[in-house]
Amino acid sequence: MPNFKGTRFTNAHETLIWAAKSETSRACFNYHAMKAMNDDVQMRSDWLIPICTGGERLKDGRSKAHPTQKPEALLYRILVACTRPGDVVLDPFFGTGTTGAVAKLLGRQWIGVEREEKYVRLAERRIADLLPLEGGAMEISEGRRAEPRIPFGSLVESGHVRPGTRLWGPGRRVGASVRADGSLDMAGRTGSIHQMGAAAQGLPSCNGWTFWHIEEEGRLVPLDAKRQAFRQATAADA
């Protein structure tokens, strides 16, 4: 907002409030989608998005239809960051319908509240002319935390990794045998794939899925590849 009175600094930003609606609910934040939109770098909290101009700016004759029409890029980023397909988005100051237009594009439901009839008519036409994305186009990047947790024991009991199978660390510098309960035996020491991976390196912790490898057709394959194959197989059966 400009500062015509000259009594303060001109605002260089607008503030977005990101919150859950109750103490027991959890706000949605699609961290990995935001990172993907920012060339795989964590997105900062300060955004530089141009104001609404050009063909995107709705006109009423030769003048602007709305004095503060928000750019679609802003609402696009907000909805990708904080909603999922099918969610309902409420805009209590709907204006010319930027929120509804982007919500429809991204497969979100929307509710708009607007008291000015001329803005309502503009918003209705704008949204009616917009085609939503379809199918997989609405999918966004998600981290491993969004995937169901799979214990290593599930691979053992399902036969994807047999008891007695030899697992190897990088370069075959250390090996361990799979036991029937999904734990590993490494030269008499036993524990989970993560515990034994950490012990092999003298570290406090380790991701055993990426440290340990299994031999297939003469080459070592990361144990995580077996987990992904198991995940795909169980998803297909579901």
Mean pLDDT on 220-232: 88
Q: Is the pLDDT of residue 238 over 60?
A: no
Confidence of residue 175 (pLDDT cuts 50, 70, 90): very high
User: Which tens digits make up the pLDDT trace of 38-97?
Assistant: 878 888 888 888 888 888 888 888 889 888 899 888 999 999 999 998 999 999 999 999
Per-residue pLDDT, 173: 92
Mean pLDDT on 147-155: 81
Q: Provide the mean pLDDT of the chain.
A: 87
Q: Report the distance separating Cα 169 and Cα 147, nearest Å.
A: 25
User: Which tens digits make up the pLDDT trace of 93-147?
Assistant: 999 999 999 999 888 999 999 999 999 999 999 999 887 776 666 677 666 555 6
Per-residue pLDDT, 133: 72
Adjacency order of strands within the sheet including 189-191? 189-191, 184-186, 175-178, 166-168, 213-216, 219-222
Spell out the domain ranges in the chain: 31-144, 147-237
Per-residue pLDDT, 188: 93
Per-residue pLDDT, 82: 92
User: Which tens digits make up the pLDDT trace of 13-40?
Assistant: 888 888 888 888 888 899 888 888 887 8
Per-residue pLDDT, 168: 95
More confident residue, 209 or 6: 209
Q: Report the distance separating Cα 179 and Cα 75, nearest Å.
A: 52
The two structure tokens encoding residue 124: 């209705």
Mean pLDDT on 222-231: 88
Per-residue pLDDT, 143: 64
Per-residue pLDDT, 135: 63
Per-residue pLDDT, 8: 84
Mean pLDDT on 147-151: 75
Q: Is the pLDDT of residue 237 over 60?
A: no
Q: String of b and e for 129-149 (b: at least 16 CB within 10 Å)? A: eeeeeeeeebebeeeeeeeee
What is the domain class of 31-144 according to CATH?
alpha beta
Per-residue pLDDT, 38: 83
